[in-house]
């Protein structure tokens, strides 16, 4: 019995190790890095090393002594300096951060509502008898299963102005700042509208028919039924979908990385993209960690607000 009661902990051990190694430790270590500044410098020195022939044997001078030559030795030295909360304070005055926040906010405020609207309209359309409805529904949800990086490269070939399938339109999809951000939004809407559609369709099919039939008997129009019956019943589902898409959209990285590279200039450089470039291209890992925690705080605030609203309404 003692072994039977303890074996469950053995089965839980892989999950615990996974969470500690890939969630808790990275979070803790990145918070630690956020209070430091990394300064890398190259130290150059000269050393004498023996000269070797093709066989690997030392080359001797006429006097029989090993000959040497001077070589330059370059060594990268990393200096970690504790800077306290200056990395977090730097976020408020960094114009690059402000520009990235504007790009991310524009993307979120445009893409997420349109995904919910289009997904809901498609769900209403498919919540009735249609020819080949299962086949059409399957085709419609296919974009969900594609990775965002692959989607970005796919649409890069489609929107490429010099030889792409849509190049004949003459629209600078990727070279104009406004069109580049619009292209990112369109691609994200194309990929994630099916997610909202799938959830809303399942919710619509789960609504009690009695309420809708009672509203029709009372003489309510289709618009009145939609506004006063269907939408209030779907409010918890709408909030959940909105919450999931908000949290994901705020971390926008994949599509701009593959589609526009953050350009032209910084027109599509999202907040996550800027943190990536700061940490992994410019090696300012302390500041990049502070940026990541800034995003984490914003996402947590949004999640908390929506969760409390959901509990107060339906708790």
Residue 297: partners with Cβ closer than 8 Å, 6 or more residues away: none
Per the model's pLDDT, the better-predicted residue between 45 and 176 turns out to be: 176
CATH number at residue 168: 1.10.3720.10
210-218: average pLDDT: 83
Confidence of residue 113 (pLDDT cuts 50, 70, 90): very high
Based on the structure, what is the number of domains in the chain?
2
The reply to whether 100 and 77 lie within a common domain is no
Is residue 24 in a domain? no
Q: Model confidence over 289-300: pLDDT tens digits?
A: 999 999 999 888
When pLDDT is averaged across residues 31-53 and rounded to a whole number, the result is: 79
| Same domain membership, residue 112 and residue 77 | no
Residues 107 and 165 in one domain: yes
Collapsing DSSP states into helix, strand and coil, what is residue 223?
helix
In a domain, 30, yes or no: no
> For residue 5, what pLDDT is reported?
63
> Is residue 8 assigned to a domain?
no
Token pair, residue 315, equals 């708790």
What whole-number distance in Å separates Cα of residue 59 and Cα of residue 52? 5
Both 146 and 287 in a single domain? yes
Measured CA to CA, the distance from residue 283 to residue 277 in angstroms comes to 8
Write the pLDDT tens digit of every residue in 48-78.
777 777 777 777 777 777 777 777 777 777 7
What is the per-residue pLDDT for 15? 87
Structural domain including 122 reads 86-314
| Residue 4 pLDDT level (bands cut at 50, 70, 90) | low
Question: CB-based contacts of 220: which residues, under 8 Å, 6+ apart?
Answer: 228, 229
Note whether 142 and 159 are same-domain residues.
yes
74 plus 182 within the same structural domain: no
Q: Within a domain: residue 210?
A: yes
Lowest mean pLDDT across 9-13, 37-41, 107-111, 248-252: 37-41
Q: Who wins on pLDDT, 24 or 3?
A: 24
- Per cent of the chain over pLDDT 70 is 96
Q: Are residues 95 and 57 in the same domain?
A: no
Please determine, for residue 303, whether its predicted confidence score (pLDDT) is greater than 60: yes
Question: Do the domain assignments include residue 33?
Answer: no
Assess if residue 268 is contained within a domain.
yes
CA dist., res. 298 & res. 307, Å (int) = 14
Examine residue 264 and say whether the peptide bond preceding it is cis (omega within 30 degrees of 0). Answer: yes
Residues 225-234 have a mean pLDDT of 87
Mean pLDDT (the chain, rounded): 87
Same domain? 181 vs 229 = yes
From 81, 107, 134, the end of a domain falls on 81
Q: Could you tell me if 65 and 122 lie in one domain?
A: no
In a domain, 21, yes or no: no
Q: Which two tokens stand for residue 290?
A: 């502070």
| Residue 2 domain-assigned (yes or no) | no
Average pLDDT over residues 105-131: 92
pTM: 0.84
Same domain? 151 vs 231: yes
225 and 200 within one domain? yes
Cβ within 8 Å of residue 270, ≥6 positions away: 100, 103, 104, 107, 252, 253, 256, 262
Q: What is the pLDDT of residue 192?
A: 95
pLDDT value, residue 96: 94
Q: Of all residues in the chain, what percent carry a pLDDT higher than 90? A: 46
Model pLDDT, residue 97? 94
- Pairing between β-strand 68-82 and β-strand 36-50 as defined by DSSP bridges: antiparallel
- Is pLDDT at 196 greater than 90 in this prediction? yes
Q: In which band, very low, low, confident or very high, does the pLDDT at 41 lie, cut at 50, 70 and 90?
A: low
Domain identity same for 70 and 211: no
């Amino acid at each position: 019995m003692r072994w039977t009661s303890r074996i469950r902990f053995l089965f839980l051990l892989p999950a615990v190790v996974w969470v500690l190694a890939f969630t808790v430790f990275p979070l803790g270590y990145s918070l630690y890095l956020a209070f430091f500044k990394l300064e890398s410098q190259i130290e150059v020195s000269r050393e004498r090393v023996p000269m070797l022939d093709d066989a690997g044997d030392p080359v001797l001078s006429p006097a029989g002594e090993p000959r040497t030559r001077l070589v330059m030795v370059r060594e990268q030295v990393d200096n970690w300096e504790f800077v306290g909360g200056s990395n977090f304070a730097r976020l408020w005055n960094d114009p690059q951060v402000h520009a990235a926040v504007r790009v991310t906010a524009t993307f979120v405020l445009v893409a997420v509502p349109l995904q919910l609207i289009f997904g809901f309209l498609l769900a209403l359309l498919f919540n009735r008898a249609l020819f080949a409805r299962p086949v059409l529904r399957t085709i419609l949800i296919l974009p969900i299963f594609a990775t965002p990086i692959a989607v970005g490269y796919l649409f890069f070939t489609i929107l490429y102005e010099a030889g792409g399938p849509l190049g004949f339109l003459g629209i600078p999809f990727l070279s104009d700042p406004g069109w580049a951000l619009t292209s990112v939004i369109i691609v994200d809407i194309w990929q994630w509208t099916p997610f909202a559609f799938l959830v809303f369709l399942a919710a619509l099919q789960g609504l009690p028919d009695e309420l809708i039939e009672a509203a029709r008997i009372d003489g309510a129009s289709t618009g009145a039924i939609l506004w006063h019956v269907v939408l209030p019943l779907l409010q918890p589902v709408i909030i959940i979908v909105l919450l999931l898409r908000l949290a994901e959209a705020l971390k926008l990285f994949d599509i701009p990385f593959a589609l526009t590279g953050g350009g032209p200039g910084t027109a599509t450089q999202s907040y996550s993209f800027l943190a990536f470039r700061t940490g992994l291209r410019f090696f300012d890992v302390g500041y990049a960690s502070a940026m990541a925690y800034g995003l984490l705080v914003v996402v947590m605030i949004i999640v908390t607000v929506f969760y409390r609203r959901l509990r107060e309404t339906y708790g």
